[in-house]
Every structure is written in C-alpha cells, then in structure tokens.
A and B are shown apart, each in its own frame.
Chain A
Amino acid sequence: MKKYALIICLFIVEAASAKIIDEINILANHTKTNLSDIWTHEAIDSSLQNNLVYDINLNGNISQLIYDLNYKDKENKLSINSMYVDFDLNDNLSFRVGKFIENWQIGYAFNPLTVTDPYYKTNSLLPLPGINAVLMNYNFENGNSINFYTNNDDNKLNSVLGYGYNSSAIRFNYILNQNSDLSIITHKKEGSELGIGAGVRSIIGDNLKVYGSFFTRKGTTLATHLGIVNNNPNLIATTNPIGQYRNNDGKNYPRLMLGLQYTTNNNLDIIIEANYDKRGMNDNEWDTYKSLINNHKNLPLPASKNLAWDFSLVSPRGLRQNYYFIRLSTPITEKYNVSFSQRIAKDLSAINNIELNYNVNDNILFNILFSKTTGKAQSEYQSYFPYDQELSVNLVYSFN
C-alpha cells in the first residue's frame, strides 16, 4: 500500500512540474509455447500456457536519489527495481549506495563476468531487477580505476538460474593504451570458493572491436540433475533430483567468451560472439539428460513428477556448453533502427530476434521485438525449449 502511495505522490509532484519523473515505460509481452512431444504431459502442461503480461516502469530522480519502479500486471506487484544515490568523497573516490544494477560485462550475449548482475533477461526490452549493494569507485590519476562491490540480494535464491546470492567482488581496470583496456576481477559468493576472471577489449583500425572475457572458480552453485551427476539415465527419483551437487567437487568450471564488432562505413553493425561454459552439459551429459526425459515421459502420476523436475532445468540461456551469437543492426532512417540477432546452439537450433525501434519524436519511443525458435526436430531450442514465439511491444514516454 505504501508503494501505491509513493507512485501517486510521484505523479502529483510531477503534475506540479517538479519534473521528478523522467520516463514511463509500458511493455506488453506475449509468449506462445510449443510443447512438442517432449514436454506434452499433464505433469507440466499447466505451467506452460501461452502468456500475456504487462509491465510498467517508472523512472526518474528526486534530487540525487535515482529510482526505477516496476509494476507487474500478472503478479499485481509493485516493486523497486532500483533506488540509489551516488556521492563523491573527493575527486577520485566515489560511492554508490542503494538498490542498483552494477554491470561489469564486456559481451552482448555471453558474459562470463556477470558476477555483479546475475539476472538474465530473455529479451532486450525486459527490465532487470537491481540488488541492494554498495559500490566504491577509486579513479587513479593515470586513468586506471578500482571498484569494490558488496551486496545483500534479498531476492529468492534460484540455483538453476544462479541468482539470489550475497556476494562481494573487486575489479581493477587497467588502461593498456588508448585502444585497449583490461579488467581483472575476483568474486566471492556465499557458499562458494573465490572466483577469478578477466576481460579485455581492443579497437583495431577504424571499424573493428575485438573483446573477450573469462571467469573460473572451483565448484559451481548451478544446479544439475542427480541422474546426470551419476551418469544414470534410468534414475526415477522420489524426491527432487535437481540440486547443487558440484559446489564442492574441487573441479574448475571455466567460462570463456570471445567476440568481435564490426561497423561498416555506412553504419551496418555486425556482432559475432562464441561462448564456452563448462557448467553446461557436455555431449555425454546431454545424452543422459535426453534419456532421462525419454524415460520419464510416459510415467504415470506421481512418478511423472520426474518429468517436471527434468523440465525445471530448461532456460533460454541454454543447457549446453557451447553457444554462438550473431547480430546485425542498422538505422533505416534517422527515426527507425532495425536489428536481427540469433542465439545459436551447438545443434544449430536458434532463438531468432527481430527488433524495430521507432523514435516517434523527442518524447515517444516505440519498440517492437519478435522472437521465434528454429531448428531440427529434437534439437535444443526447437524441441527442448518450449517457448516457441515471443512478441514484445514497448512504449517509452519521456517527460523531459
């Protein structure tokens, strides 16, 4: 109730021309499922319906306090996405305190350095939640900088998608030269070993940027299936077999991403990225997973719950170790921009996105994004990923 009162107050003050609302963002998102014969089962049918959700975001600032409020129609829930302040102790040392997104990533689609912002969005128009945190930023005279970050994530822990953990991280940014920089990161997550990572990006010539990053730590908190861990495709569990079995196994789980961005002289922008993540399933584990699903598909209730547990691992981020990404984008006129992107799995199935941005005027921006999976039968994104199509329509009204 307090949150509704806050929104009403914001509108009243805005109406009185104090200009504390920067913009309002209204998003309608429709997903269409295609269960194929793999997931067509009463154990999971009810959780996989076609879905239309509305999402409203309101952002701005009250003096130095920057906020972003989010209302989800489906959940009838108003929440604070971010609310924080920045302050400078002196010319070199500054702090950010509150709830915010701190992004240390280098890539567009794949990001081994996503240690401070573990939340993943399926499309570029969806908002991400912030995390309660403190960030210290110290800038050296030579342009290098060091960041210290510590958070207290109050969102519910999700071991499949890997968020909801408290963590601390240090990043050192080193300017190699005018065209290249290097960042070195250490990250400590609750219940995990210390992880280390690095990222580098470099401009080559007039048109090309190359970049890459890696991160590794001993053990992983990402959940997997007990049948995969024990290489037992015949496992029929009586309790949930999805768990954090690899956190203390002493193995390193490296993630590596390499990418390039090329912009032609007439402004066609091309991005290509490749990703390896050892936490995903290798070929043997993938075969075991498919066998588990196959064995659980025709089980009667209550044993068919095994299929629902198998399904709980599915994510748009992908289940495997190797993925590729390509994006082409270009302005059509000053008002229109169009982009096409593909997230491609090892079996060449893909999530394909077409996005159009229309800048109606200085105050109104209109985005439309259509997403469709493609691939051969029994391929990852075509058959195992059940969200067949997604249509997002987004209207942004800026008050300034």
Chain B
Amino acid sequence: MSNYLKFLLLFLFSSTILANSEKLLLEAVDKYRSPYLSTKMDISITAYKDNSATGNDKYEVYHHNGESLVLIISGASKGNRVLLSNKGMYVAVKKSSRAIRITPIQRLLGQASYGDLASLKFSDDYNAKILREEQDTIVLELNSKSKKSTYTKIHLWIDKDKHYPIKADAYLASGKIYKIIHYSLKDNLINNITYTDPKINNKKTVMSILKIEKKKLSKRFFTSSGMKGKI
C-alpha cells in the first residue's frame, strides 16, 4: 500500500472518528436539557429592562422525537399553541378553528422566540464541529441541519470536562449575531437560559425551566390538524 493511500485512509478514519466524537459531544450537552425521550416542561419567561422585570409569561412545552408543541399559558397570546416539527411550523390561535403555517420571522419575533421555547436538543437540529479549545472550555460550531432550526449557526461554549453548556452566540443566515445566550444549571439540568440582544444592552429575557417530567402525547398533537386537541 502506498504511503499516499495509507495517509488517505488515516485521514478518512480520523475524520469519521472526529465527526462521531463531535456528535457524541453534542448529545452529552443535550443530556443537560432533559433526561427523557418524551418530555413535558413548564417554562416561565421573564423580560427585564435595566434589571427590573417588565413582564412574565408561562408556557407548557411538549417534546417528542425532535418535535415540539408549545402551549402559551399566560400573556397576550394566552391559549395559542405553536407546533415546530420537521414538517413545518404552525400557530393555532385560540379563537380560530384551524392552525396556520408561520414564517421563520414569525417564529423569531420576541426576545425569547417560539423557536427558543421549542428547541430542546441541539443534536436534533444541528451538526457540530469543534472550532477551538480554550482553557476550560471547548467551542463548538453548530450548523443547522434544516430550516426547522431556530438559528442558522451557533457558537457554543461547553465545559471541557463535564460538557455542560455555558454560553452561546446565535447567528442568523445573514451572518449577524442575533442573540447571546447564557446557561445556568441546577441538579445537573439547565434551569435558566438568559437571552440578550447584542444591540440592546439594558434588556434581557430569562427562560426558567420550572419543571421537567416524562410525558408522551399522541402523534396527532404534533400535526397541524390535531395540535388544538384537549391535552
């Protein structure tokens, strides 16, 4: 076997190992979101201006197989539901008898968007590669697998030893940073995610995960025609 061929095989082999290790790394990060395959999360989102709370909304989020159903429990959109799946994104307004498809910008509006609420596992939505290693952290570059992903690209800082997420910069397709995200943990699970807009210094939004439990909904709830059903 020529040296060139050996080199090529080694290169291919090491690339595969690296890709697999990056995938495993991302799956390790995901374990800090939920330990269950099908999950119900009670979430509270508080908006702050100059460190004073200006509003608080509550949500129930059901995840299964990479699909998410968001129930809006309080606030101006109370009673509405949002479905994010690999078949599209839909909103069912409470006073309407049907669900409508929504555009990516409708998903993103608000400091913590429906996409932020619905995203549970990075590994469902993004491919990872190691960008660099710093003193105590590894920086991953996550590129969206499909348009279902909330952001086009994410730079994610994770702890070098335990692989829990610390910070992320979320980018849109234009290449601009859309949000800066900080994670905090309690009992080995993420309990607070703080979103800030890099252009607005005095505002932030904190998503608090109040409760996580194992719960599986029927498949019809993850369809546009069945998402309004009684849970």
Contacts and interface: CB of A to CB of B under 8 A. Distances in A.
A398 B79 CA distance: 10
Contacts, number: 97
Given A94-B218, A137-B225, A337-B76, A143 B85 contact: yes
Interface in A227-247: none
Contact of A94 (B102, B147, B220): B220
Given A94-B226, A137-B225, A362-B78, A175 B88 contact: yes
Interface residues of B, number: 34
B98 interface: yes
Interface stretch (B9-17, B29-37, B103-111, B191-199): B103-111
B148 A207 contact: no
Contacts of A175: 87-88
Q: Which of B74, B79, B96, B219 has the most CB of A within 10 A?
A: B219
Interface string B49-93: 000000100000000000000000011101100000111100000
A203 interface: yes
Given A103-B98, A137-B226, A265 B105 contact: yes
A66 interface: yes
B101 interface: yes
B230 A145 contact: no
A88 interface: yes
A357 to B, nearest CB: 8
Given A175-B87, A359-B75, A362-B78, A206 B219 contact: no
Interface in A86-114: 86, 88, 91-92, 94, 101-105
B20 interface: no
Nearest to B101: A201
B87 A61 contact: no
A113 B228 CA distance: 20
Nearest to B172: A206
Given A179-B147, A201-B101, A203-B101, A263 B106 contact: yes
B97 interface: yes
A206 B104 CA distance: 5
Contact of A178 (B86, B224, B225): B86
A123 interface: no
A398 B78 contact: yes
Contact of A207 (B74, B85, B105): B105
Contacts of A117: 97
Interface string A261-281: 101110100000000000000
Given A94-B220, A103-B97, A362-B75, A66 B103 contact: no
A178 B220 contact: no
Interface string B209-231: 00000000011100111100110
A69 B138 CA distance: 58
Contacts of A104: 98
A328 interface: no
A64 interface: yes
A209 B100 CA distance: 10
A203 B105 CA distance: 11
A50 interface: no
A178 B87 contact: yes
Nearest to A141: B219
A167 interface: no
Contact of B88 (A181, A263, A331, A359): A181
B202 interface: no
B188 interface: no
A7 to B, nearest CB: 21
Contacts of B224: 173, 181
A335 interface: yes
Nearest to B216: A91
Given A175-B88, A206-B105, A398-B78, 18 more contacts: A64-B230, A88-B218, A91-B218, A92-B219, A94-B218, A102-B97, A103-B98, A139-B219, A139-B223, A145-B225, A173-B225, A178-B147, A205-B103, A206-B173, A208-B103, A209-B102, A263-B103, A362-B78
Interface of A: 61, 64, 66, 86, 88, 91-92, 94, 101-105, 117, 124, 128, 137, 139, 143, 145, 147, 173, 175, 178-179, 181, 201, 203, 205-209, 211, 261, 263-265, 267, 331, 334-335, 337, 359, 362, 398
Closest 9 CB pairs of A and B: A103-B98, A103-B97, A359-B76, A143-B87, A206-B104, A101-B97, A362-B74, A88-B218, A175-B87
